[in-house]
Amino acid sequence: MASKCRNMFYKNKKLEATEDLPPFCDLANSAFAVQSLTGVGAIFCTLTGNSYLLTNNVIKGTSRDLRLVFDRIFWFIFWANELWQVVHLSKTTTDESKRFTDILYKLIAKDNTNEISNNDVVSLHLVMARSVKFTAYDFFPLDYTLLHSIVASTVTYLIILVQVPEK
């Protein structure tokens, strides 16, 4: 079993690919730092604004036009999906990197010949243990906690905006 995994491991050259992953992610993180921060901020403002306008249209009955209501629902779902895609892809990449390191540790534990543990590239990978992490200009991580924070903030602002009387 261990030799089959070892052969598959070297055959696919997954180690070389994962060695390039953290520097590539760091490069992508720094290249798109401002864009990710402004993008998430814009999506948050859009979701909050659409939520407020939707509650005004539905709860307060300010608009009888159903097309406007469906338009607000469509754009809310569209921008929520955009945010979900960014967060999900960054979290999936981070988890895949961690999963690879876990598999590598398990292969070393099962290796009776010490062939894998004596490999310099494998040893270097385990010693460096560089993790992959995506952030929005180092203000907050792009993971599922961001979704929770945006939902909580949107609901808070929505409650405040609904309570403010219109002039």
Q: Count structural domains, the chain.
A: 1
Residue 96 lies in a domain: yes
Q: What is the pLDDT along the chain (167 residues), one digit of tens a residue?
A: 445 545 545 544 555 666 677 788 888 888 889 999 999 999 999 999 999 888 887 777 766 677 888 888 999 999 999 999 999 999 998 898 888 888 878 888 887 887 777 777 777 777 777 778 888 888 999 999 999 999 999 999 999 988 887 76
Residue 7 lies in a domain: no
**Per-residue pLDDT tens over the stretch 47-66:** 999 998 888 877 777 666 77
Helix (H) / strand (E) containing 77: helix 66-110
Residue 85 lies in a domain: yes
Residue found by looking up tokens 């907050």 in the block = 140
Q: Which domain holds residue 130?
A: 16-163
Residue 112 lies in a domain: yes
Predicted structure pTM score: 0.75
Cβ contact 103:14 at 8 Å: no
